Amino acid sequence: MAGNALKTIVLTGASGGIGEALAAEYAAPGIRLALIARDPAKLEALAAVVRSKGGEAETATIDVRDRAALHDYLEDLDRRHPVDLIIANAGVTAGLGPDRSRESDEDADRQLDINYRGAVNAVTGVVEAMRLRGRGQIVLVASLAGMRALPDMPSYSSSKAALIAYGHSLRGWLKPFGVRVTIICPGFVTSPMSARHKGAKPFEMSAEKAARKMRRAIDGRRAFYAFPFLLATGIRLQNLLPPVLGDLFMGGFAAEIEPDPRYKKSRTPE
Instruction: Return the active site residues.
Output: 156
Task: Give 35's strand partners.
Answer: 11, 59
| CA distance linking residue 17 with residue 37, whole number of Å | 12
Instruction: With CA atoms as reference, report the closest residue to 146 among 232, 34, 55.
Output: 232
| CA distance linking residue 95 with residue 160, whole number of Å | 14
| CA distance linking residue 130 with residue 154, whole number of Å | 34
| CA distance linking residue 255 with residue 260, whole number of Å | 15
| CA distance linking residue 220 with residue 211, whole number of Å | 14
Q: Is 88 helix (H, G, I), strand (E, B) or coil?
A: strand
Instruction: With CA atoms as reference, report the closest residue to 10 among 74, 91, 75.
Output: 74
Residue 228 contacts by C-beta under 8 Å, 6 or more apart in sequence? 187, 203, 205
Angle between helices 229-238 and 243-250 (to 10 degrees): 150
Task: Give 139's strand partners.
Answer: 87, 182
